[in-house]
A and B are shown apart, each in its own frame.
Chain A
Amino acid sequence: GAGVSQSPRYKVAKRGQDVALRCDPISGHVSLFWYQQALGQGPEFLTYFQNEAQLDKSGLPSDRFFAERPEGSVSTLKIQRTQQEDSAVYLCASSLELDRGREQYFGPGTRLTVT
């Protein structure tokens, strides 16, 4: 079946612009995660949804970052007034997670470059 998809794959934004990154999880997956991956580093947790509820947003770096999943399926990560330090790959993952500790399946990521 189809995996996690993300769009756009690449995004170039001028400093100060707002961006919106989309994630389509695997159909039927309850949990959805956003991670940020800087060059040469492992992914870092941003936020987590179970269905439409955002249960953990402790990793969001500032109030410029906002995520939503209004119908418990597609999710959007929005970054307002982008800064150069926001340049990274933004990864989305989903998990069936009927109980805790299920594997997370990742999408290809969106590479954001802020100029």
Chain B
Amino acid sequence: GESVGLHLPTLSVQEGDNSIINCAYSNSASDYFIWYKQESGKGPQFIIDIRSNMDKRQGQRVTVLLNKTVKHLSLQIAATQPGDSAVYFCADNAGGTSYGKLTFGQGTILTVHP
């Protein structure tokens, strides 16, 4: 049968390393961006968000970088832990008639080895 891993980019790191997960978005009108973590059998869990008037925002062990020129978003996780293993999704919102609607990227599988 099909495996989820065949369709999603994967990133494999050692515990304690820093991880960088990348995301490209297509809508130049998007002005709000958000990262979610999704573990198997669970709903997406909010990690961090950023508005288009910023290019960097830091949280606890996580940093989001936004490059509007090339429509690129990245999530940096410092000192990655086995509990960080999950699928990570970026999402964006463009406002206007799409008020509230999030458009999700395809996701990246992060595997952290002890």
Contacts and interface: CB of A to CB of B under 8 A. Distances in A.
Contacts of A104: 34, 46, 102
Contact of A108 (B42, B49, B100): B42
Chain A CB within 10 A, most for which of B3, B44, B49, B89: B44
B100 A31 contact: yes
Given A48-B101, A56-B101, A105 B46 contact: yes
A28 to B, nearest CB: 17
Interface of B: 2-4, 6-8, 31-32, 34, 36, 41-46, 49, 51, 89, 91, 93, 95, 97-107
Interface of A: 4, 31, 33, 35, 39-45, 48, 50, 55-56, 58-59, 91, 93, 95, 97, 100-101, 103-109
